[in-house]
Copies of this chain bind each other. A is one copy, B any other.
Amino acid sequence: MSDFGDYLKACQKRIDTHLDQQFCNSHPGLERLYAAIRYSVTGGGKRVRPLLAYASCEALGGTDKPVDVVAGAVELIHAYSLIHDDLPAMDDDNLRRGRPTCHRAFDEATAILAGDALQALAFEWISCEGSWQAETRLRMTTLLARAAGPQGMVGGQAIDLASVGAQLDQNALEDMHQHKTGALIHASVRLGALATERADDDQLAALEEYARCIGLAFQVQDDIIDIESDTSVSGKQQGADHARGKPTYPAMLGLDGAHALARSLCDQAISTLEPFGSPAERLRQVARYIVERRF
């Protein structure tokens, strides 16, 4: 098994190549919209969600060829959420991945539409691409819709907005993040498994617990990075969440407490993978990567 750094790069290259082949459209009047879509989707990023889909598929011994479709679809949902979250009426961010945010590089109206378009495209891809049985594709489509919608990611953003300046306890903070980032991370893991068309209920339940732990660990680590990493490393404005009065794990538990929680969640995630044996090694490495990354 090759070094995880190489695997990470290979996965990133793979999804980047896949995404780079999309969004070709020269219809009159749509040039700016497609430019904004390409700008937002092909502008790098860690590609954690595609990585999870690939690694989850591998854990079940699945061929990973058609997983590009689901990896791409979750990345589109993620990309759309970043565009909308960055808008002036939301987080009002100027910088994303070290470049101007979509509404800064283009304009607000185009950014709103690019996000809207990406959400629709994600459902188009997942409902009609690939060679799965109809039942599998439907299940994947519904899963992605729930993860993206008000009971998932969008709901998390709404809870986040409602909680600015509020005192949240740790349960409420966890609830917010399980919606905001956890739902789509969970969907990525589950979609990778469903794509093999051989996951049983026990395996899906174990992966659900794995996803719950790393989803939360991901957010804890994001909060830590917001404090510890400067802008040149993270590509985001340092301390932006903190300055906005958003509740964070370091604010609640202290920096050491937050680090300890991230490590504990990582260990918990890895322990759920025991029944999968060595094919789940990539998922274990991803769990470690999530709490060790600096951006």
Contacts and interface: CB of A to CB of B under 8 A. Distances in A.
A157 interface: yes
Contact of A119 (B109, B116, B124): B116
A27 B158 CA distance: 11
B89 A120 contact: no
Given A112-B112, A154-B113, A154-B116, A30 B123 contact: no
Given A112-B89, A113-B157, A150-B120, A138 B145 contact: no
Interface string A93-129: 0000000000000011110110111011101100110
A119 B33 CA distance: 18
A150 B90 contact: no
Interface stretch (A159-167, A224-232, A265-273): A159-167
B145 A30 contact: no
Contacts of A146: 120, 124
Given A120-B150, A128-B142, A149-B121, A90 B110 contact: no
Given A120-B149, A127-B145, A145-B121, A30 B134 contact: no
A218 B96 CA distance: 41
Given A127-B127, A158-B33, A150 B28 contact: no
Contacts of A138: 127-128, 134, 137-138, 141
Could you say which of A29, A112, A121, A134 has the most chain B C-beta atoms within 10 Å of its C-beta?
A29
B176 A29 contact: yes
Contacts of A30: 150, 155, 158-159
Nearest to A129: B142
B116 A89 contact: no
A274 interface: no
Interface string A27-42: 1111111100100000
A196 B148 CA distance: 29
B29 A149 contact: no
A29 B150 contact: no
Contacts of A149: 117, 120-121, 124
A211 interface: no
15 contacts: A25-B150, A28-B159, A28-B172, A29-B162, A32-B158, A84-B112, A87-B112, A90-B109, A113-B157, A119-B120, A121-B150, A123-B141, A124-B145, A133-B134, A134-B135
